[in-house]
Amino acid sequence: MKPSRILVIALAGLLVGALSGIGIKMLRQAERPAEPTKVVVLEQMPEFAYPDLEGRLRHGSEWQTNILVLNFWAAWCPPCREETPLFVDLQEQYARDNVRFVGIAIDDREPVADFVDTYGVEYPVLLGDLEAITLSRRLGNRFDGLPFTVVVEPGGRILARFAGGVSREQIEPVIRQAIENNRRSYASPERI
């Protein structure tokens, strides 16, 4: 065999080996699941703004001095329909204690407006979008599920998070504790 032919065969062998190694490396990388994007769960409520049912832009800062119960929901969501009467009742019961419920609907305007009328929702309902889903994720909604509720004290510190439907037994003690904390923080200092 001629030396030039041996050189060509050797080079071809090296090329096939190198390409095989690259292919195997790529295959191994493709087999590994992609690492999920790490989301840092916020401890403070960030600023947000979404339109209400009348199209007015409402800002989260509007409720910064309130105990805020922020609920992400949709009209098509069965657990959302189950908890809404509770939220309507709790808003009425605790309104004089500086508690404000705000709903962020991940839905279209028409079904949301029908839902609000059907359930007698009198607290603000905002129309969210993909950005609202991102906000719920940043607040701790790991699976982007609905409903998702957070309770926030005046000043923005998040007190509790509820993934899925919430019951009175779960949320009312948190609201009462927030009311008590709020009263203590605004109590006048004792006189000497």
Q: Are residues 85 and 179 in the same domain?
A: yes
Residue from 35, 36, 34, 39 nearest 141 by CA: 39
40 within some domain? no
Residue 167: predicted pLDDT: 98
The interaxial angle of helices 78-94 and 109-119, nearest 10 deg, is 50
pLDDT digit string, tens, across residues 151-167: 999 999 999 999 999 99
- Which residues form the domain of 12? 1-35
> 178 lies in a domain?
yes
Structure-block tokens of residue 95: 């309104």
Within this chain, do residues 12 and 96 fall inside the same structural domain, yes or no?
no
pLDDT value for 1: 61
Rounded-to-integer distance, Cα 138 and Cα 41, Å: 5
User: Do 24 and 97 belong together in one domain?
Assistant: no
Rounded CA gap, 126 and 57, in Å?
Answer: 9
pLDDT for 12:
53
| pLDDT confidence of residue 110 | 98
pLDDT tens-place string over residues 40-57: 889 999 999 999 999 999
Residues 170 and 135 reside in one and the same domain:
yes
Q: Are residues 69 and 31 in the same domain?
A: no
* Per-run averaged pLDDT (10 residues), the chain, 192 residues: 56 52 47 57 96 98 97 98 98 98 98 98 96 96 96 96 98 98 72 48
Structure confidence at residue 158 (pLDDT):
97
Token digits of residue 128: 């969210």
pLDDT at 26: 46
d(CA 55, CA 53): 5
Alpha carbons 86 and 173: distance in angstroms, whole number = 14
Summarize pLDDT for 101-111 with one digit per residue, the tens.
Answer: 999 999 999 99
> 3-state SS string over 39-96?
CCCCCECCCCEEEECCCCEEEHHHHCCCEEEEEEECCCCHHHHHHHHHHHHHHHHHHH
Q: Does 73 fall in a domain?
A: yes
Domain count of the chain? 2
**Neighbouring residues of 65: CB distance < 8 A, sequence distance ≥ 6:** 98, 154
pLDDT value at residue 10: 52
Residue 175 falls inside a structural domain: yes
Q: What is the pTM of this model?
A: 0.78
